Amino acid sequence: MQAIVADTTPLNYLVLIQAADILPNLYRRVLIPPAVKAELAHANTPAIVRAWILQPPQWVEVVSLKLPVDSALAHLDAGEREAIYPLRPNSQPSFC
């Protein structure tokens, strides 16, 4: 099993439908960039999602970017920009 990099929307809806626990059955780890964590914890996010990200499961790991985000991605939300950009050197995660 490999790791996956997740954007805000898939995690948000999996938590809302109480199906996030399927992820560790499919992937070893779920990596999220800091912007995704911030979006999940935002005051406008549903309370159940905010509570989930404030005490995330062990299989969720917040990982900082290894490079600055490309300015060509400026039209995307922060979470999307960071989720599609490489997070770590030598890592080969999938993207969600």
Average pLDDT, the chain: 82
- Specify the higher pLDDT residue, 79 or 62: 62
Per-residue pLDDT, 96: 46
> Side-chain half-sphere of 3: how many Cα atoms within 13 Å?
19
Q: What is the pTM of this model?
A: 0.73
Distance CA 36, CA 78 (A): 8
pLDDT (0 to 100) of residue 5: 83
Mean pLDDT for the stretch of residues 11-16: 97
pLDDT at res. 11: 96
Q: What is the pLDDT of residue 7?
A: 87
38 with 82: CB under 8 angstroms?
Answer: no
> Per-domain residue ranges for the chain?
4-95
